Chains A and B, each alone.
Chain A
Amino acid sequence: MTEFQILTESILNALVAGLLMGAIYGLMCVGLAMIFGIMKVINFAQGDFMMMGMFVALFFFSTFTQQLVGDFVGPYIAVTLAAPIMFAVGYLVHMALISRVTGSRTAKLDGEGHYAQLILTLGLSLILQNGAMMLLGPYMVTIATPLSSSAWMITPIWDDMLLIFINKARGVAAVISVLVIIAIGLMITRSRLGKSLRAAADNPEASTYMGIDVNNAHRIAFALGIAITAVAGGLLATNYPFQPFVGLEFVIIMYAGVVLGGIGSIIGPFWGGMTIGIIQQMSTLVLPFQLQNSAIFVLFLLVVILRPQGLFGRVSERT
């Protein structure tokens, strides 16, 4: 291969890897944005709910979907089954805990309830991490599929001299992520539920006067946010090993993605996550590999300085 061919192939493969990873990051970010955008709750336990989703998906995979439909389809059925479970977990957590520091009750709390929310979700995060550690141990596990070590190969030019590798597990995960995002977008913009969620986000007081049950809308938003991030986690688990502390590796990326995409926007953070994925991979072409994650935060700071409302946020919603 010539140096030009090597460079071209490196750029194309980094771009593909970035797009695939970015789609999964994007889905994670949308889960967090759903909670923050609608409820204005800063959920520090989001990464740990993602971890929980990964373990729930692994449970379904190892107990029956693997035996039932095999290693290729089994992981995705397991992830699909994990979604309603995590929705129910989110719904119950909101009902039992989050609702006490959000909504109409925040009027009586310092800082509109944000201090209480911060402490509550940090506490939840610690409980989930250490609870999982006690119950499941510190073992590194994964949803094992042969797709994670194989690729679709594309040869756009120069025959076999230039190959683009699309990891099968990440490729399928990216496609599912995009489909989920489209479904969420349609739900938010077209359905009655979506309208009530948007109304509860825009003006909770006026929504109450219009007959919308704001507390219920918040509960659904929280549960949906948890379920969406859990699906992202389950998809990630098909190609990335995890343990009870895996949430910490991704929670910062989720927050960065939400700020990049625009605080207050629900779909914008998908593009925020996608941007992070692309920057993370493409930066290795010009910077030392060790600075891969630093590049993300340089971009993050640039966006905060130059476009504080984020890439897709409204001017009134600044970081």
Chain B
Amino acid sequence: MNSLTRRIFTLGAISALPLTMLAPPVHAQDADAVKIGLIAPVSGLYARFGQVMRMGAELAIEDINAAGGIEALGGAELELVVIDSGDTTEKAKAAAERMVAEYPDLVGATGAYLSSFTLAVTEVTERAKLPVLTLSYSDLITERGFDYIFQTSAPAGDQAGIAIPTVLDLAEATTGTRPTTVGIITDNTAASLSSVDAMKDGLLEDNNLELVVDEVFTPPLADATSLIQQLRARRPDLVFFLPTVISDSKLILEKMNEFNLDIPVISFGIAIAEPDVLDTISPDLLEGVMSAVGNYAFAGHEELIKRVQEKYGEPWMNQNAISTYGDMWIFKQALEDAGEANREAVAQALRDMDAGPSPYFPGGVLAFDETGKREGAGLTVIQWQDGVPRTVFPEEIALSPAIWPTE
């Protein structure tokens, strides 16, 4: 083999990494419509999540337009512009640059699924003064002093703070014993690490939990043996599991079953409750698994859930669909308040918004504080029951009562 071949082989091995590129942006051509961006992964490892986000946004825009559009703008319709953020932070940032360059008439956007992507995307949108709504959890999102980011979910740290006592109370009420040891298995994405940081910075101690297994991995995993070996050796009372990729959920749960570990699993995030999970994991292994998520279809959304099932064939409506659905309604409210299709005016309307309780987000009200956090934002806890993830907390919006996994 000559030197040229060798050089190309070595260079090629490195350049094979960024092979995935993007589906083209999808948009209609109506010049009078008010354009809202959805920047989310619709290709690569996280494509499924972006696809579900798109469903929620499309459905909301359909409802808003059917109800007469934006009244303050003479009934102007909303139009969704979908931009593929790809599956890495580098691609997400490049997609954001493309979005602000190619669509100067966008008045706002929502995205970008993973907190890591949202952090990268908003570095660009902040400079372009484009208001962005996000469900991403990372505490960093609203800690950077940005003016054009609005976080609809409770940040990861706050979510863990609400979820942990709830779970411990449920365990004590069911088993008579309050768990005292915990193992944490988390991937190293921004939202997961934000939750874990909050736990280690006092939440575990405040709840009298001793951390006996603490493992961080890079997704996607090839094999979970060494992680689960740690659980087998230390036998915590509870496992806090923070994945963002469905394949990691499968590998961890199957490996726990393989190692005969019957430890209640409390997850954080949506990767364990996506419909695809059922295509990869036996429902038996999922039964009882709980997850704390920023949002999820809850009591009062039954009609919406039915429409998602009928229109898209989805078995249920998860946080990504309900949140982008809610985001579009927030933009409608902001446009009505602003009275003009201008991104600066929309951003100001979001800052000034005081629209009372939201029908599409748990807890709090539709108002944002000076950092961009939604005031009083809560969370939902979901649980796999009979092959379906159902909202079990807060009780007032629960679709089913919670059951302790080892009950």
**A interacts with B:** yes
Residues of A within 8 A of B (CB): 1, 6, 9-10, 13-14, 16-17, 21, 36, 40, 42, 44, 47, 111-112, 114-115, 118, 122, 125-126, 129-130, 133, 137-142, 144, 146, 148-151, 165, 167, 239-243, 245, 248-249, 251-252, 255-256, 259, 263-264, 280-281, 284-285, 288-290, 292-293, 317-319
Residue from B4, B19, B259 within 8 A of A44 (CB atoms): B19
| Complexed CA–CA distance, A78 and B341 (Å) | 56
Question: Lowest 3 CB-CB distances: which A-B pairs, in order?
Answer: A138-B47, A17-B225, A149-B254
Q: When the two chains form their complex, are residues B225 and A281 in contact, meaning their CB atoms are under 8 A apart?
A: yes
Interface residues of B in 315-354 (CB under 8 A from A): none
Q: Given the complex, which residues of A lie within 8 Å of B277, measured CB to CB?
A: 140
Q: A42-B12, A139-B276, A149-B282 are in contact. Are A289 and B226 (CB under 8 A)?
A: yes
Q: Given the complex, which residues of B lie within 8 Å of A248, measured CB to CB?
A: 16-17, 19-20
Interface string of B46-89 (1 = CB under 8 A from A): 01101100000000000000000000000000000000000100
Q: When the two chains form their complex, are residues A112 and B5 in contact, meaning their CB atoms are under 8 A apart?
A: yes
Instruction: Describe B's contact surface by its main secondary structure.
Output: helix
Q: A141-B279, A248-B19 are in contact. Are A243 and B222 (CB under 8 A)?
A: no
Inter-chain pairs besides A16-B225, A317-B1, 19 sampled, C-beta below 8 Å: A10-B229, A14-B229, A21-B222, A40-B5, A42-B5, A42-B12, A126-B19, A130-B23, A133-B23, A137-B48, A138-B50, A140-B274, A167-B225, A241-B246, A248-B19, A248-B20, A252-B16, A255-B9, A289-B226
Q: When the two chains form their complex, are residues B258 and A150 in contact, meaning their CB atoms are under 8 A apart?
A: yes
Which residue of chain A is the closest to B247 with respect to CB atoms?
A: A241
B29 at the interface (CB under 8 A from A): no
Q: When the two chains form their complex, are residues B222 and A280 in contact, meaning their CB atoms are under 8 A apart?
A: yes
Q: Given the complex, which residues of B lie within 8 Å of A10, measured CB to CB?
A: 226, 229-230, 233
Q: Given the complex, which residues of A lie within 8 Å of B246, measured CB to CB?
A: 140, 241
Residues of B within 8 A of A (CB): 1-2, 4-6, 8-10, 12-13, 16-17, 19-21, 23, 42-45, 47-48, 50-51, 87, 188, 215-218, 220, 222-223, 225-227, 229-230, 232-233, 246-247, 250-251, 253-255, 257-259, 274, 276-277, 279-280, 282, 285
List 16 A-B pairs, Cβ < 8 Å.
A9-B232, A13-B229, A14-B229, A44-B16, A125-B19, A129-B19, A137-B48, A140-B48, A142-B250, A144-B280, A149-B282, A165-B225, A165-B259, A167-B225, A252-B16, A252-B17
Which residue of chain A is the closest to B11 with respect to CB atoms?
A: A118
Q: Given the complex, which residues of A lie within 8 Å of B23, measured CB to CB?
A: 130, 133
| Complexed CA–CA distance, A263 and B229 (Å) | 36
Q: A42-B8, A293-B218 are in contact. Are A245 and B229 (CB under 8 A)?
A: no
Residue from A42, A130, A140, A251 within 8 A of B276 (CB atoms): A140
Q: When the two chains form their complex, are residues A142 and B226 in contact, meaning their CB atoms are under 8 A apart?
A: no
| Complexed CA–CA distance, A314 and B222 (Å) | 31
Q: Given the complex, which residues of A lie within 8 Å of B225, measured CB to CB?
A: 13-14, 16-17, 165, 167, 281
Which residue of chain B is the closest to A141 with respect to CB atoms?
A: B279
| Complexed CA–CA distance, A118 and B254 (Å) | 39
Q: Given the complex, which residues of A lie within 8 Å of B1, measured CB to CB?
A: 40, 263-264, 317
Q: When the two chains form their complex, are residues A111 and B4 in contact, meaning their CB atoms are under 8 A apart?
A: yes
CB distance from A36 to the nearest CB of B (A): 8
Q: A44-B19, A114-B5 are in contact. Are A133 and B43 (CB under 8 A)?
A: yes
CB distance from A291 to the nearest CB of B (A): 8
Q: Given the complex, which residues of B lie within 8 Å of A281, measured CB to CB?
A: 223, 225-226
Q: When the two chains form their complex, are residues A249 and B4 in contact, meaning their CB atoms are under 8 A apart?
A: no
Q: When the two chains form their complex, are residues A9 and B229 in contact, meaning their CB atoms are under 8 A apart?
A: yes
Residue from B47, B215, B233 within 8 A of A9 (CB atoms): B233
Q: Given the complex, which residues of B lie within 8 Å of A252, measured CB to CB?
A: 13, 16-17
Most chain B Cβ neighbours within 10 Å, of A6, A138, A280: A138
Which residue of chain A is the closest to B220 with respect to CB atoms?
A: A249
Q: Given the complex, which residues of A lie within 8 Å of B5, measured CB to CB?
A: 40, 42, 112, 114
Q: When the two chains form their complex, are residues A290 and B217 in contact, meaning their CB atoms are under 8 A apart?
A: yes
Q: Given the complex, which residues of B lie within 8 Å of A140, measured CB to CB?
A: 48, 246-247, 274, 276-277, 279-280
Most chain A Cβ neighbours within 10 Å, of B47, B222, B232: B222
Q: A133-B47, A140-B280 are in contact. Are A289 and B217 (CB under 8 A)?
A: yes
Most chain A Cβ neighbours within 10 Å, of B19, B20, B21, B51: B19
Q: Given the complex, which residues of A lie within 8 Å of B42, measured CB to CB?
A: 138
Q: When the two chains form their complex, are residues B280 and A141 in contact, meaning their CB atoms are under 8 A apart?
A: yes
| Complexed CA–CA distance, A13 and B13 (Å) | 31
Which residue of chain B is the closest to A316 with respect to CB atoms?
A: B1
